[in-house]
Amino acid sequence: MITVRVQTEAFDLGAETHALSDGRTDIGAVASFVGLVRGGEIEAMTLEHYPAMTAKALEAIAAEAAGRWPLLDGTVIHRHGRLLPGDPIVLVAIAAAHRGDAFAACAFIMDYLKTGAPFWKKEETGGESRWVEARAEDDAARDRWR
């Protein structure tokens, strides 16, 4: 079962992946992805969401991944609130018996989070802010799974 959390607090990649595999001998692979706030022009990013809608959407994405691959465990954490460059935004960590399943499920979840998770992102640059628009590349990445 994939656990989904939406939170303001930062997460610890090592602690989260250790929690998935600690004491388990059936797991042969843990694949993970951590998304970070990019720096450069971006001074901060604020992620807003509707909690009930967000939880339901993330759980549906996780359930679809669990239905496609023989997964043994997993964690999806998505942060919200105001984040600074270098801050972690999202974690997807998937445990499976084999690396191919873990990698595929991890990529699938991230591709669907980018397009199907109801978060609204506002970037701050040069003292001004703007809402981030959806990108065609993200839709194309999601569509490869259909």
pLDDT tens-digit series, residues 109-136: 999 999 889 999 999 998 899 998 888 8
Q: Where are the alpha helices (DSSP H) in the chain?
A: 13-21, 51-68, 99-116, 136-143
Q: Are 4 and 62 in contact (CB under 8 A)?
A: yes
Residues 8-32: tens digit of each pLDDT: 999 999 999 999 999 999 999 999 9
Q: Which domain holds residue 51?
A: 2-143
| pLDDT single digits (tens) 42-75 | 999 999 999 889 999 999 999 999 999 999 999 9
pLDDT confidence tier of residue 6, bands split at 50, 70 and 90: very high
Q: How far is it, in rounded angstroms, from Cα 125 to Cα 44?
A: 7
Instruction: Identify the CATH number of the domain in which residue 83 sits.
Output: 3.90.1170.40
Structural tokens at position 84? 């600074």
Q: Write down the pLDDT at residue 143.
A: 87
10 and 79 Cβ atoms separated by less than 8 Å: yes
The total number of structural domains in the chain stands at: 1
